[in-house]
A = this chain, B = another copy of it.
Amino acid sequence: MTIREINIPKRTIMTPGPVEVHPRVLRALSYPVLGQFDPAFTEMMNEVMAMLRQLFRTKNNWAFPVDGTSRAGLEAVLASIIRPGDKVLVPIFGRFGYLLAEICERYRADVYTMECPWGEVFAPEDVIREIKRVAPEIVAIVHGETSTGCMQPLEEIGRACRELDVLCVVDAVATIGGTDVNTDEWCLDAVIGGTQKCLSVPSGMAPITFNSRIEKRINERKKVERGIATEEDLKRERERAPIFSNYFDISQLMDYWSPRRLNHHTEATSMLYALREGVRVVLEEGLGERFERHRLHEAALVEGIRAMGLELFAEGRRKLPTVTCVKVPEQIDADLVRNMMLDEFGVEIASSFGPLHGKIWRIGTMGYSCRKENVLFTLAALEAVLIHVGAPVQPGRALQAVLSFYHEKTAVKGGVS
């Protein structure tokens, strides 16, 4: 059987993920694998844990990847802490809030939701009032909602949860490595990141961190092995709900990621190399510098979008700095524009979900994709296609505005990466 060689077309990927992978990460993926208990590999596991603590800005003992895509990390945390009937409050401001609620339902939580219109975020006091009213065991909330380009402020909510002894679980898939996620200072009990967005690592791993409050709850549910359990163990086990997944059982993942090294799965070797290199790139750049770079190119993109005569969907303080949502001009077929950008320019931007499909385009400025030439080329492609389909844009203005913007910033700061 003859199957053709893989041929990857050249793309400029400006979606909210997956985005372009950093060349150093691509190189790391091609290194030979090691056995999972090879000391050279277990040492790397420990290094990754140390690096993830810095990325999540935490002193938590536990920080490691779950082997699966981002939602595997979300499900691992939620599956490990939700006991059937537990009250979970999920404030929803876009598609990924629904995902959190849906995962909680699968694990038979008593799910309470509150919603605000897509394109807005919650006033923290509204969420806190609802926490007091519902008195949930857990609040599960999205930080950066890529479906609407909005970012929920978490500091007050996290602190309120701590005071009220509620566990606060945060989906930071779209923000980790691109804008501040301050786990400890914001009192977040568990935070789940994604690899394929601002970390510029391929999809397939989900770095998570959680504190001793979460750990305590998980250990209460830990299964004692058949052969070594006493009658009392078994009685206690019957009384408490076990974790209803083997793959996502964080009590077993802790045994694997601790010096005990109890075999659970076989760690995804090459993806761990990639994560290590990706986070290494982030920490070398510096978290503060990296967040500033993300804001710079976001601002440049917004400048160009506006100069073209287009409008933003979500702006101001609620805007997610790593995703920019652009309103599709009336009478313009949003998918036709996207497809033409991909076919003619190799530039990929995203549509959105549900009520926003066809209404907005979503443009990511994430990780390695968040670069000057990508911003310029995306605007050039968008403008050309819009002119081609007869949209009322101001020809030539976007790139001039963006060039001026960069020159001004460069003159002040010196150098734009």
Contact = CB atoms under 8 A, between A and B. Distances in A.
A377 interface: no
A58 to B, nearest CB: 15
Given A6-B31, A265-B203, A270-B21, A68 B71 contact: no
B75 A245 contact: yes
Interface in A244-292: 244-249, 263-271, 273-274, 276-277, 280, 283-284
Given A30-B29, A75-B245, A283-B3, A270 B265 contact: no
A149 B174 CA distance: 44
B244 A106 contact: yes
A17 interface: yes
Contacts of A182: none
A271 B271 contact: yes
Given A67-B68, A204-B67, A265-B70, A34 B11 contact: yes
A394 B6 CA distance: 49
* Copies assembled: 2
A107 B244 contact: yes
B31 A269 contact: no
A33 interface: yes
Nearest to A72: B247
A174 to B, nearest CB: 12
Nearest to A274: B270
A221 B6 CA distance: 37
B103 A266 contact: no
A36 to B, nearest CB: 6
B35 A268 contact: no
Contacts of A204: 67, 204, 268-271
A120 interface: no
A175 to B, nearest CB: 16
B267 A203 contact: yes
Interface string A364-380: 00000000000000000
A13 B35 contact: yes
The 3 A-B residue pairs whose C-beta atoms are closest, nearest first, are A204-B268, A30-B30, A202-B270
Given A1-B283, A18-B266, 11 more contacts: A1-B54, A3-B283, A3-B284, A13-B33, A13-B34, A18-B33, A21-B32, A21-B270, A33-B196, A202-B271, A204-B269
Interface of A: 1-3, 6, 8-11, 13, 15, 17-18, 20-21, 26-36, 38-40, 44, 47, 51, 54, 67-72, 75, 79, 99, 102-103, 106-108, 196, 202-204, 242-249, 263-271, 273-274, 276-277, 280, 283-284, 342, 348, 353
